[in-house]
């Protein structure tokens, strides 16, 4: 659906008016490596996608914000007195959580008519929720002249998901959606938010995203559980060394301190985090030096750690990865996102892409009885006003 079609739909829902309709876009993201380390203060390496969430907005003289989505049936008009109240488990809590953050900062907001449309597959682990949050943040920032920078909008969007929606995510998804740049990935230190935009030069290879199409019912609850397990690992380590987050440890430090973690499950969770941070740092250097074979090997090792130590993959993701690695021309394959369904990201020679999609898709359906969807990923810019 293009912008003109969305504007026609907007007017059919909310009626004609002389008031301006503004259009905003915030992308989803794919994380190339560095999974489940952002909330542990580690390094991640995501990039923004060309797919994401479009939001059309019109300011109105009322105390009501109206929410409509082309992706969900639920619609609502929320009066000012209820702007800071969670509404069941509906999608509107994601933008409302951002409204709540602006109000907590003391900004004066007014009535709005909003139409959301996303071309990301919902529940695929490509951060459709973060794109909704960041799109809402940029439109509020623009319409009400709040003059906040992109990093602050990302912080507020993360808080919206943590405090209002109730998912204890790190900041990677929102940061990538806000600060992404076309044909670049973001090498982000999640503890300091210092970042570097790294050009993506794949030299005849492409990023292919494979969607399991498995509903991710466990993702949020298990996400919070893993975060709690990481906190327990910090408690163990604090018996001999004072730290706040696992990301403060080198792999050498961890290996020396790991004997104080008496719970084997907690040990494996922590081992994934610390080793994944080291893999991410090595992967960025490999990409900068043009060593795509090493980059792919580190992608593979990342998935194996997520499968064995962090236990967030499952048969669907593991099958997609296993089948991908069998295809000649696949350089690396790993799950991306929270896990328990969602997507894999694959580095594939462009001459092998058709064979990759055919072989992996056919074998995946045979083994798990689900149809996978495939996307050759275009790396796009971060959030923006379109007109």
- Judge whether 141 and 148 are in contact, CB under 8 Å: yes
Exposure of 18 by Cβ count < 10 A (0-12 exposed, 13-18 middle, 19+ buried)?
Answer: exposed
Kindly state the DSSP code that residue 379 receives in the 8-state scheme. B
> Which residues, 6+ apart, have CB-to-CB distance to 88 below 8 Å?
none
354 is an active site residue: no
Give the long-range contacts of residues 191-197, CB within 8 A, separation 24 or more: 191/41, 191/42, 191/245, 191/247, 191/248, 193/151
Number of Cβ atoms within 10 Å of the Cβ of 3: 15
Sheet containing strand 343-349, edge to edge, reads 330-336, 343-349, 205-211, 373-376
**Taken in order 6, 176, 320, 292, is the CA torsion positive or negative?**
positive
Residue 289's CB: how many other CB atoms inside 10 A?
A: 10
How far is the C-alpha of 137 from the C-alpha of 152, rounded, in Å?
A: 10
Note the helical H segments in the chain: 3-14, 93-104, 128-143, 150-159, 172-179, 219-237, 251-257, 264-288, 292-308, 315-326, 353-368
From the list 173, 220, 309, 318, the catalytic residue is 173
CA angle 184, 190, 193 (to 5 degrees): 70
Q: Are the C-beta atoms of residues 321 and 334 closer than 8 Å to each other?
A: yes
Active site residues: 173
């Amino acid at each position: 659906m293009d912008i003109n079609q969305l504007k026609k739909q907007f007017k059919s829902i909310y009626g004609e008016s002389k008031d301006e309709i503004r259009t905003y876009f915030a992308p989803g993201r794919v994380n190339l490596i560095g999974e489940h380390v952002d909330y542990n203060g580690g390094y991640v390496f995501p990039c923004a996608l060309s797919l994401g969430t479009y939001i059309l907005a019109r300011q109105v003289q009322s105390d009501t914000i109206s929410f409509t989505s082309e992706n969900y049936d639920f619609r609502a008009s929320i009066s000012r007195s209820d702007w800071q109240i969670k509404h069941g488990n509906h999608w509107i809590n994601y933008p409302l959580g951002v409204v709540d953050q602006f109000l907590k900062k003391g900004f004066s907001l007014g009535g709005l008519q909003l139409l959301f449309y996303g071309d990301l597959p919902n529940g695929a682990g490509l951060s459709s929720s973060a794109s909704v949050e960041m799109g809402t943040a940029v439109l509020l920032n623009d319409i009400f002249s709040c003059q906040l920078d992109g990093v602050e909008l990302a912080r507020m969007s993360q808080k919206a998901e943590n405090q209002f929606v109730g998912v204890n995510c790190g900041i990677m998804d929102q940061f990538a959606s806000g600060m992404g740049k076309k044909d670049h990935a973001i090498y982000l230190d999640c503890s300091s938010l210092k970042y570097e935009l790294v050009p993506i030069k794949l030299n005849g290879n492409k990023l292919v995203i494979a969607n399991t199409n498995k509903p991710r019912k466990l993702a949020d609850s298990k996400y919070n559980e893993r975060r709690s397990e990481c906190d327990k690992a910090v408690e163990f380590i604090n018996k001999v060394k004072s730290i706040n987050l696992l990301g403060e440890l080198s792999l050498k430090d961890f290996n020396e301190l790991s004997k104080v973690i008496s719970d084997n499950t907690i040990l494996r969770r922590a081992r994934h985090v610390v080793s994944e941070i080291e893999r991410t740092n090595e992967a960025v250097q490999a990409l900068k030096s043009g060593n795509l074979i090493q980059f792919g090997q580190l992608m593979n090792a990342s998935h194996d750690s997520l499968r064995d130590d962090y236990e967030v993959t499952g048969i669907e993701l593991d099958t997609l990865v296993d089948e991908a690695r069998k295809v000649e021309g696949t350089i690396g394959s790993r799950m991306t996102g929270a896990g328990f369904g969602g997507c894999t990201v694959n580095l594939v020679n462009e001459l092998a892409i058709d064979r990759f999609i055919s072989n992996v898709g056919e074998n995946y359906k045979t083994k798990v009885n689900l149809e996978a969807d495939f996307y050759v990923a275009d790396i796009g810019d971060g959030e923006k006003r379109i007109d």
